[in-house]
Amino acid sequence: MTDLAQIEEKIAEYAAKGYEVPTKDMIKTPEEIIGIRRASKINTAVLDAVAAKIKAGMSTDDINTIVHESTLAHGAIPAPLNYEGFPKSVCTSVNEEICHGIPSSNVILKSGDIVNVDVTTLYDGFYGDASRMFMIGKVTPQKKNLVLITKECLRRGVEASQPWHFIGDIGAAVSAFAHKHGYSVVREFGGHGVGLQMHEEPFISHVGKKNTGMLLVPGMVFTIEPMINMGRPELYVDSANDWTALTEDGKPSAQWEHTILITESGNEILTY
C-alpha cells in the first residue's frame, strides 16, 4: 500500500469515530510541497533582506520597497499587493498595531519601536507566508520580553503540531505560555492553510483545548502566527483604511509566523 493510501485509511478510521478530519485538498501532494517549499525559501530570503537593512529613521514604506524589489529579484510576486484591495507588498505593524499595518512614508521607525514585518510570497503558483519582529534601537525590557515570549509561543505551537494530534493542541500550547507570562492572545485572527492560495482552510486558532478540533495529518501545510498582546486581547480595525488591527487598550502587540508542513514523523518549518 502507498503512503497516501495508508494515510487515507487512517483518516477514514478517525472520521468513523466522529473526529473532525481534513478534506483532501488540505493534504498537499509531493509536487505541491516542492512548490510551496520553493516559495517559502524565497519568502525567507526576502525577510533576510529586510533584517539586513531595517533601522531607525527608515519609513515603513522603505521596508515595502525592500520587500517588493527583493521579491521581484527572485522572480516572485509579493502576494499582499492588491490582495482584496490591500495597497502594498507587505504588512508592517508597529507597537500597538496587531497586524495588517499598511506601509507608509509617514511612519518613521524610531528607537524603542517594535515592528512586525509579514511577508507572503507567490512563486510559480505556490505561496509561502512568514513574519518576524524587529526591535529598533533601544527597546524597553517589557517590549523585549513581549517579543521573545511571542517567539517562544510560536515555537511551542510548532512543537505541538504533530501528525495524528489535533489543531486544538496548537492553541492550547500557545495560549498556556502566553497566559503564564501575563499576556493575552488575539482570537479574531489566526493561522491558516496555505500553499495554493494565500489563505486556505483550516483556521488555526491560537487559543484551544488539547485533543479537540481537526485531526493533523501528514501533508497538511499551514501557518502558525500568534498575535500576543501585553494588555487586553480586544482589538479594533482602523476605520481610515479598513485593514489595520490595533489593540483597544493601546498597549503593544507582537507576532511571529511560520509556514509548516506536517510530516509522518513530526513537522518541518518551510519558512526557516
Please give the residue ranges that form the binding site for Co ion (CB under 5 A). 118, 129, 223, 257
Per-residue three-class SS string for 187-225? CCCCEEECCCCCCEEEEECCCCCCCCCCECCCCCEEEEC
* CB < 8 Å & 24+ apart, contacts of 160-163: 161/216, 161/224, 161/260, 161/262, 161/267, 162/216, 162/262, 162/266, 162/267, 163/216, 163/217, 163/218, 163/262, 163/263, 163/264, 163/265, 163/266
Binder among 205, 257, 260, 261 for ligand MF3 (CB under 6 A): 257
Binder among 14, 19, 86, 203 for ligand MF3 (CB under 6 A): 86
Q: Which residue is nearest to ligand MF3 (CB)?
A: 80
Q: Site residues for ligand MF3, window 186-225 (CB under 6 A)?
A: 223, 225
Q: By CB under 6 A, which span of 9-17, 80-88, 157-165, 234-242 interacts with ligand MF3? A: 80-88
The helix/strand/coil state of 7 is: helix
Q: Site residues for ligand MF3, window 8-67 (CB under 6 A)?
A: none
Q: How far is the CB of 222 from Co ion (least distance, A)?
A: 9
Q: Which is nearer to ligand MF3, 11 or 99 (CB)?
A: 99
Binder among 96, 97, 129, 169 for ligand MF3 (CB under 6 A): 129
Output the furthest CA–CA distance in the chain (Å, rounded).
60
Q: Which is nearer to ligand MF3, 81 or 176 (CB)?
A: 81
Q: How far is the CB of 97 from ligand MF3 (least distance, A)?
A: 13
Q: Which does 96 bind (CB under 5 to 8 A by kind): Co ion, ligand MF3, none?
A: none
C-alpha cell at 253: 502587540
Q: Which is nearer to ligand MF3, 120 or 247 (CB)?
A: 120
User: Does residue 113 touch ligand MF3 according to CB under 6 A?
Assistant: no
DSSP string for 24-86: GGGS--HHHHHHHHHHHHHHHHHHHHHHHH--TT-BHHHHHHHHHHHHHHTT-EETTTTGGG-
Q: Which is nearer to ligand MF3, 91 or 262 (CB)?
A: 91
Neighbours of 185 (CB within 10 A): 23
Residues within the interface to ligand MF3 (CB under 6 A): 80, 83-84, 86, 91, 100, 118, 120, 129, 223, 225, 257
